[in-house]
Structure 1
Amino acid sequence: MPTLIGSVQRALRLLEAAGAHSEGAPAKQLAREAGLPLPTAYHLLRTLTHEGYLRRESGVFLLGDAAGRLAGGGLQQKRRIMILDSLAHFREVVGAPVYFAVFRAGEIEVVGVSDTPEMPAVREWADFRATGHAHAIGQCLLAQLDEQTRRDYYARHPVEAITPYTVRDLRALEQRIAAMGRMQPVIERQEYVLGSVCAAIPITAGDTAATMAISLPLDQQDRLLYVVDRLRSEVGALLSSLSFSISI
């Protein structure tokens, strides 16, 4: 194991050295900057090139596509951590589970959820992506789409009742969407799961439909409007930390 860890450390030093030269650098220079014997550097450079982390052009080594993907993955992970930290902060502010979701590539995607054992999130008993008509998150996202995009979604995920309170059919859902005020919260009571009420707020994030949402147990529904208003008052601060997450 120590030998393997040492090899990884040496390889990373070579990648760091190569990354410092936008136009590439020869093996001898990279070995010197990484503090490695030349034979060791040659062996690792060949391996890194074979795996796509480096590429060799005209006698110099440059970062390859795999290194770019590695860096991008690290950036995405950092973004996701920032999102979850932000959601946790606002969960404490509003005193309820907080959700962040987007409509991407034709589907509803819940990017992050923050809850606690004392404030549990709604259990996903029916696929959130396929039941957008039945929950506040989905209704809020669908209301931000053009009619054709919505109909494409309905063609894949037909409107059907999943509780006694779910909107009954496509016509009724479209009538509800048409009546929604721009940038107004969407409220849903027991339409997705019995015993829960939810509210979602549309978020402006470039061309992407996005939403922040909260949920409460049915016996706390008298708090719903207060909680969602508290969340709306924080939207400006939320955007500064969450708008980048569309690229996740």
Structure 2
Amino acid sequence: MAGAANSAVPTLIGSVQRALRLLEAAGAHRDGAPAKQLAREAGLPLPTAYHLLRTLTYEDYLRRDNGVFTLGSAVDRLAQGAAAQNRRGTIEESLSHWRDAIGVAVYFAVYREGEIELVSISDTPYAPAVAEWADFRETGHAHAIGQCLLGQLDEAARLDHLDRHPVQPVTPHSVRDRPALLRRIARTGPGQPCFERQEYALGTVCAAIPITLGDLPATVAISLPVHQEARLHPAVEQLRAGVSGLMGSRWFSISI
């Protein structure tokens, strides 16, 4: 029994524990604190504290200025990473909600640094997502997500994208050339959804609604098998209503 109890106790690395206590102590002082004060607050011998403070400073978890230690940029990067994970989790929860409520595969994508970025997909075996058989970034002209994002760009950015990723047919139903694509984008009013029918994948219809997150063009999209095409417009309207209810919320107010 004693052996079983001991096996349940995790193996702790003392130096890591002591370093974390120093970081917590430093974080409690907005304007920083000297080594002696941090050692005292962390309950550490001064020589041990000095050794760990040098290591933490070298790794940029702390910054030393005139004998005072403050949190370094590595701590900021950890915090940003945690915040990004939380935001991604919130996005995925929202997509899952719409997936189940509407009964479709749901996608979230952004246009970042000159490229289409598919951030998250939520689907089920009964509402499968479209398989990415041709590079999504290079074929933005052929799918609703890409057309929606390109429609949110200014003319120079849109033409630059098409220079780098030329319009060419992906299926027999795809838009044929750049002028045809630009005419389609011009016909789609601001804030209106984009629709495509078997342009990226045969047997599939898709729609995407535009969302702007600060300066970041974004979109939420859905797809359906072509034999369920009659559901597409009602599903888009249901999605638009759901997204509109969140436009002022934390989910949309935070840049991802």
Fold shared by both chains (TM-score > 0.5): yes
TM range (shorter): over 0.9
Q: What is the CA distance between 1:149 and its match in structure 2?
A: 0.9
Would you say 1:220 and 2:234 are equivalent positions?
A: no
The counterpart of 2:206, out of the listed 198, 201, 213, is 198
Confirm or deny: 8 A CA contact 1:199 1:214 kept in the other structure.
yes
CA spacing shift, 1:76–1:153, aligned 2, 3 Å? same
Which of the numbers 238, 248, 251 marks the counterpart of 1:242? 251
Q: Which has the higher contact order (CA 8 A, sep 6+)?
A: 1
Give per-residue Cα distances to partners, 1:172-197, cap 9 Å, x unaligned: 11111111122111111111111111
Distance 2:61 2:212 in 1: 37
- With 112-121 and 148-157 compared, the bigger mean Cα shift is at 112-121
1:101 aligned residue (99, 109, 122) = 109
SS in 2 for 1:234: helix
**TM-superposition CA deviations, 1:26-51 (whole Å, max 9, x none):** 12221222233333222211110111
Equivalent-residue separation in structure 2 for 1:8 and 1:195 (angstroms): 55
| 1:54-203 equivalences in 2 (<5 Å) | 54-203=62-211
The structure where helix makes up a greater share of residues is: 1
Alignment TM-score, normalising by the size of structure 1: 0.93
Q: Is the 8 A contact 2:213 2:254 kept in 1?
A: no
Whether 1:50 aligns to 2:86 is no
Q: What amino acid sits opposite 2:106 in the alignment? A: V
Aligned to 2:4: none
TM-score by length of 2: 0.90
Q: Deviations over 1:38-81 (max 9, x none)?
A: 33222211110111111111111111111111111111111111
With 90-99 and 146-155 compared, the bigger mean Cα shift is at 90-99
CA distance in 2, matches of 1:238, 1:90: 12
* AA at the equivalent of 2:232: L
Distance 1:192 1:50 in 2: 50
- Contact 1:86-1:241 at 8 Å conserved across structures: no
The answer for the alignment partner of 1:34 in structure 2 is 42
Matched AA of 2:126: E
Please, which runs of 5 or more residues in structure 2 have no aligned partner? 1-9
Helix, strand or coil at the partner of 1:212: strand
Deviation at 1:85, TM superposition (A): 1.4
Separation (CA, whole Å) in 1 of partners of 2:244 and 2:44 = 50
The answer (yes or no) to whether the contact 1:86–1:238 under 8 Å persists in 2 is: no
Say whether the 8 Å CA contact 1:102–1:109 is kept in structure 2.
yes
Do the aligned partners of residues 203 and 120 (structure 1) sit closer, same or farther apart at CA in structure 2, a change above 3 Å counting? same
* 2:215 is equivalent to residue 207 of structure 1: yes
Deviations for 1:77-121, whole angstroms, at most 9, x for unmatched residues? 111111111211222222111111111211111122111232221
Distance in 1, matches of 2:106 and 2:200, equals: 16
Change (3 A) 1:141 1:57: same
Q: Alpha-carbon deviations, 1:150-185, whole Å to 9, x = none?
A: 110001100000111110110111111111122111
**Unmatched 5+ residue regions in structure 1?**
none
Moved more, 211-220 or 235-244: 235-244
How many pairs does the alignment contain? 246
Structure 1 counterpart of 2:7: none
What secondary structure is seen at the aligned counterpart in 1 of 2:252? helix
